[in-house]
């Protein structure tokens, strides 16, 4: 048997380091060729690292959240045959000493003499380390015991009325209790087992009211860390100002319903978003300073004829902005299909890296949760973002008569270094005019 070291591969595009966002294997697992070992994140996408060989995992080279350089040791496998450790050891010596070795006062010379003191397992687990080729592997840290994962918010736990009454009296949320009965039904024994797992120092108060003292520390890693860094950079660099306008979308909602009735089977169903995107494309013809990117370090604003529209999309991991390339060359059905496809790709983690960058302006929508007003953060280095709020029906005076109309706010933000307030207001008014007279969206000037 031999040891095969897999190093962090060169993912391309000049990337020198990546963030380790997840392990697909653990120490002791057997892996097959091409099996995914780990997920790493670049500035643009999450990438799976496959195994080139068959073997058994004997050591992991990092923890989730670590930043790893290209060429750094990712994982060690026990393989049939000689492996590749000897060849590497003969050609290059490790140029770093692990933090654990330094903590124990052990250098490379002591290791060669074989008198290195035993490491504390907890120190080895908590301290980032660089494994040398001849260093013995460390045992994995045992997985912590956790409470059962809660059910989804809308998933109703199965339990009899008597069990529900008892759980209420004990202050137990049934969504946290694992059921052992048929179809996962929660029984009295399950409540007893749940209570035995609670801390003896925190007695349960009757009547459903009790103090809660649990805390949960969640590392900010992976996509969430990228989002945090991007938002911080945007707010640090860009002097935002926001402009909010109310739009009557009654006519365009009626048109949308008619188009879906007639064409949904052949062309696909339309939401309001592609109409707004089309209105933005047409309005940007007269406001090119908004369809731009600002390199503030070089002091250069680049205006674009092409509208590469970023569409902010919520995923389980966080907000991602895929890009509809050349939105100016697509009709509303073409934009709708592209938005739907991009949203599907990013939500299942299959979006190509080139669709996650290069946008010139961004459209953001929270759908029915859009609220009345929002202050969207500009997607740096762009200079504008249009945010969509929810539609509400309200009474409106029209020609002296009170009528019911469907109203929606557009809450938009702009970079005040590049876009003047008057230009931003005129741009949004142009979008408003197109949406309130939707026939204009289909007229080519």
Catalytic center residues: 416, 420
Dihedral sign for Cα atoms in the order 348, 353, 354, 356: positive
Burial of 89 from C-beta contacts in 10 A (0-12 / 13-18 / 19+): middle
Using the structure block, give the residue that is written with the tokens 């890693």: 221
Measured distance CA(112)–CA(389) in Å, rounded? 66
Q: Which of 45, 64, 48, 66 is nearest to 6 (CA)?
A: 48
Which tokens hold the place of 357?
Answer: 């960058």
Distance CA 408, CA 419 (A): 24
- The tokens of 302 are what? 């680049």
Helix (H) or strand (E) holding 385: strand 384-398
Give Cα 93 distance to the centre of its chain: 39
Distance CA 249, CA 328 (A): 22
CB count within 10 Å of CB 8 equals: 21
Any bridge partners for residue 36, and if so which?
50
């Amino acid at each position: 048997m031999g040891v095969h070291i897999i190093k962090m591969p060169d993912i391309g595009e000049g990337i020198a380091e990546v963030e380790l966002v997840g392990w697909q294997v653990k120490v002791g697992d057997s892996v097959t060729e091409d099996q995914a070992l780990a997920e790493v994140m670049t500035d643009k996408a999450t990438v799976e690292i496959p195994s080139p060989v068959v073997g058994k995992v004997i050591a992991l080279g990092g923890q989730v959240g670590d930043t790893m350089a290209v060429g750094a040791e990712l994982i060690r496998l026990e393989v049939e045959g000689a492996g590749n450790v000897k060849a590497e050891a003969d050609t290059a010596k490790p140029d770093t000493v692990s933090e654990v070795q330094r903590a124990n006062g052990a250098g490379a010379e002591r290791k060669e003499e074989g008198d290195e003191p035993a490491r504390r397992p907890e120190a080895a687990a908590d301290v980032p380390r660089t494994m040398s080729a001849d260093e013995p592997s460390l045992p994995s840290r045992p997985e912590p015991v956790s409470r059962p994962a809660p059910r989804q918010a809308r998933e109703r736990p199965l339990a009899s009325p008597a069990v529900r009454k008892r759980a209420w009296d004990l202050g137990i949320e049934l969504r946290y209790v694992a059921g052992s009965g048929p179809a996962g039904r929660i029984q009295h024994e399950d409540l007893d087992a749940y209570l035995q797992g609670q801390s003896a120092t925190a007695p349960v108060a009757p009547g459903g009211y009790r103090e809660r003292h649990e805390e949960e520390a969640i590392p900010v890693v992976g996509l969430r860390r990228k989002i945090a860094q991007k938002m911080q950079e945007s707010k640090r660099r860009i002097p935002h100002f926001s402009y909010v306008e109310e739009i009557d979308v009654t006519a365009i909602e009626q048109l949308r319903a008619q188009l879906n009735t007639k064409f949904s089977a052949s062309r696909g169903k339309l939401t309001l978003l592609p109409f707004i995107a089309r209105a933005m494309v047409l309005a940007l013809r007269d406001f090119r300073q908004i369809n731009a990117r600002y390199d503030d370090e070089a002091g250069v604003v680049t205006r674009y004829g092409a509208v590469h529209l970023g569409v902010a999309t919520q995923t389980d991991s966080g907000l991602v902005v895929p890009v509809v390339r050349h939105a100016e060359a697509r009709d509303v059905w073409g934009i709708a299909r592209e938005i739907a496809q991009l949203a599907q790709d990013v939500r299942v983690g299959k979006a190509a890296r080139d669709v996650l960058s290069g946008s010139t302006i961004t459209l953001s929508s929270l759908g029915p949760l859009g609220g009345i007003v929002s202050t969207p953060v500009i997607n740096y280095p762009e200079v504008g973002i249009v945010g969509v709020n929810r539609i509400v029906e309200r009474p409106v005076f029209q020609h002296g008569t009170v009528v019911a109309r469907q109203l929606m706010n557009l809450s938009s933000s702009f970079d005040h270094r590049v876009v003047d307030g008057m230009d931003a207001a005129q741009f949004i008014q142009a979008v408003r005019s197109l949406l309130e007279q939707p026939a204009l969206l289909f007229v080519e000037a």
